Amino acid sequence: MCGIVGYNGTMQAAPILLEGLEKLEYRGYDSSGLAIRDGAKDIEIVKAKGRLRVLAEKTDEGMALAGNCGIGHTRWATHGEPSETNAHPHVSEDRNVVGVHNGIIENYQELKEKLQRHDYTFYSETDTEIAIKLIDYYMKKYREGPVDSIARAMTRIRGSYALVVMFKDYPDEIYCARKDSPLIVGVTEDASFAASDVPAILKYTRNVYYIGNQQIARLGKGTAEFFDIDREAVEIEPSEIKWDAEAAEKGGFEHFMIKEIHEQPAAVRDTIGSLVQDGKIVYGESGLTDEIIRNTSEILIVACGSAYHVGLAAQYVFEGLARIPVRVELASEFRYRNPILNQNDLVVVISQSGETADSLAALRLAKESGIRTLGIINVVGSSIAREADHVFYTLAGPEIAVATTKAYSAQLIVAYALAIQYAYVRGQIDEDRYTAMIAEIQTLPAKMERVLDDKERIQWFAAKYSNAKDMFFIGRGIDYAISMEGSLKMKEISYVHSEAYAAGELKHGTISLVENGTLVVGVCTQNRLFEKTRSNMVEVKSRGAYLMGLTSYGNYSIEDTADFTVYVPKTDEYFMTSLAIIPLQLLGYYLSVARGLNVDKPRNLAKSVTVE
């Protein structure tokens, strides 16, 4: 979950590294550090606790560090509390090896004890220091070069890691290695770059290399060579980044999150464009076929966080339209409960980054069991995208705010399209319904824009209730799935205690928590469930709750119950999640702003959860 940047070129490295780390600060922000080298001189290291701004001020925006080769890191703590001592880069005793790391080393204690038997001492509480000193140990023991020493260390390390390392005796080179954690390499005519994610280097190059699992890279000034764990040279084809660098900037908005909320219509429009041609859903390069769809016996959707909530909404759509059984699984639980899998199942893994550790582990478990896998991913070339049997990409572009919005909406579109195609191929809907549903999906971007036009009312409401301490979201069917995501947004960025419940479950205990002034959001977009949910809203209102209603235009009777109502345009009820979620995203955003919180970087959270 940490952010890594490396640079080896002809310009001053420190300002470039700081600029790249700023683009990656969403990955971690409890400490940061730089290691800079000026030719054959000693490597200079500067660290700082807290936000990246502290490091920038400490180094005079990088100008205080001379040198055109260096590595940088912004940390989200796993082993060891946030401190300058635990901040990266970490070094061997004689500074023979200096490196940064993203990931988690599971057998760090075993490796530490091994190194202690060889007179190594440790100054930090991190697993990273152990990895750096293990590389140093093998380099001195076998008197071999960086690639060999890194490869030997990789064979001993269990867990996930992306490593970027500099060596005292190799002043014009940087070395990288990865296993299960994201790392890319970019090359220009006279420089090379390493980074955890594309935005860090997009200003300088659009051509990137996605380092494979258990591979090593040697970066010169404008060169990149790749090796496998057996130290054999390997070829990696470069990929061209299509989206604009400005997409990773705020573009005049106060925060990335509100910018990305407004980018949802475009993200949905672009994703639809990749899935629909001439009024039909296309498989593209995914490898999915009608035969696979016909032979699928059950769909298992595996995901974490907001992607899991996409799965909850998708379950209603798949089962309602295609009449195929669907299970939605938390990726963090999936592999630990020995799931029952059948050969004709399809495991669908949803992840924005394509690097989510638990989701990646679930994918690998399915593949080991011989089960077909499909990824819904936003990052081309990510681990899940490479390893899944079939991949559908969401065209959301870079998402910087920790709390997802546009990636969530784009994932929903892929889920809708797959459900419609499953229903049509399996004979559950006819061609007229198929054509009508595809046409309706294509109206969603414009309808989302209409919802955004009403944001000032939600801003007013959020300011009025900015002191809320408890909030409940209730709904039935798809509305329950919407409530789950709305509640998560509230928790993530506003730090309000918020829970979502299936409305019918209120009277089984939860209603005892409702008291005067408790804010309850009732989501009522499903017509056949409207009256039932409204009756549950009446129950909580009679116990003192203040009610916000969320429904579609035409359901004006809700105003007889709700104290404040938000309306969204009508669409096919299977697609209501795409419209109804936007007011809840805005509610969370504006409430966070009213409370003076850091919207884009909420405490204790990171964008990509690449460790368990």
Q: What structural domains does the chain harbor? A: 3-241 (3.60.20.10), 250-442 (3.40.50.10490), 453-597 (3.40.50.10490)
Question: What gap in Å lies between CA 588 and CA 579, rounded to an integer?
Answer: 15
Q: Are 246 and 253 in contact (CB under 8 A)?
A: no
d(CA 423, CA 225): 47
Q: Which of 444, 442, 422 is nearest to 273 (CA)?
A: 442
Does the pTM surpass 0.75? The reply is no
> What would the mean pLDDT of 222-250 be, rounded to a whole number?
84
Q: Which helix (H) or strand (E) holds 136?
A: helix 127-142
Q: Which residue has the higher pLDDT, 555 or 299?
A: 299
Strands 159-167 and 207-210: unpaired
Type of residue numbered 534:
R
For the chain, give the mean pLDDT. Answer: 90
For 356-385, how does the pLDDT look when each residue is reduced to its tens digit (9 = 90+)? 889 999 999 999 999 999 999 987 778 898
Q: Is the dihedral of CA 250, 397, 410, 433 positive or negative?
A: positive
CA dist 97 → 35, 37, 174, 334, 553 (Å): 11, 12, 11, 39, 64
Band (611; pLDDT cuts 50, 70, 90): very low
- Alpha carbon distances (Å) from 353 to 204, 397, 400, 535, 577: 22, 11, 11, 40, 22
**Is the pLDDT assigned to residue 8 strictly greater than 90?**
yes
- The two beta strands, 31-37 and 69-75, are antiparallel
User: Is the predicted pLDDT of residue 612 greater than 60, yes or no?
Assistant: no
Question: Does the annotation count 69 as an active-site position?
Answer: no
Tokens of 508: 């089984």
Cα separation, 275 vs 122, whole angstroms: 53
- Amino acid (one-letter) located at 271: T
H/E stretch holding 572 reads: none
123 vs 72: CA distance, rounded Å: 20
C-alpha separations of 540 from 445, 509, 510, 517, 550 in Å: 34, 12, 10, 11, 16
- Residue 287's pLDDT band (cuts 50, 70, 90): very high
Give residue 400's pLDDT: 82
Q: What is the DSSP letter of 180?
A: B
Q: Which residues pair with 217 in a beta bridge?
A: 176, 226
Type of residue at 219: L
Tens-digit pLDDT profile for residues 212-222: 889 999 999 99
Q: Which of 2, 69, 176, 304 is catalytic?
A: 2
Please list, in sequence order, all residues whose beta carbon lies within 8 angstroms of the beta carbon of residue 19, skipping any fewer than 6 positions away.
203
Parallel, antiparallel or unpaired: strands 233-234 and 159-167:
unpaired
Give the pLDDT score at 606.
58
Catalytic position from the list 47, 179, 601, 607: 607
List own/partner pairs for 150-154 with CB under 8 A and 24 or more apart.
150/175, 150/177, 150/216, 151/216, 151/227, 151/229, 151/230, 151/231, 154/179, 154/214, 154/216, 154/229
Decide: 262 and 251 in contact? Cβ < 8 Å: no
607 included as an active-site residue: yes
Contacts of 317 (CB under 8 A, 6+ apart): 415, 416, 419, 478, 574
**Whether the predicted pLDDT of 283 surpasses 50:** yes
139, 176, 314, 582 from 416: Cα distances, Å? 53, 39, 7, 17
Hey, which residues does 160 pair with through a beta bridge? 104
3-state helix, strand, coil in the chain (%, to 5): 40, 25, 35
Using 50, 70 and 90 to split pLDDT, how confident is the model at 246?
low
Q: Is the pLDDT of residue 21 over 90?
A: yes
Q: How big is the chain, counted in residues?
A: 612
Give the DSSP H/E element, type plus range, for residue 224.
strand 224-228
Q: Are strands 546-552 and 519-524 parallel, antiparallel or unpaired?
A: parallel
For residue 186, which of 165, 207, 212 has the smallest C-alpha distance?
Answer: 207
Q: Distance from first CA to last CA of the chain, Å, rounded?
A: 10
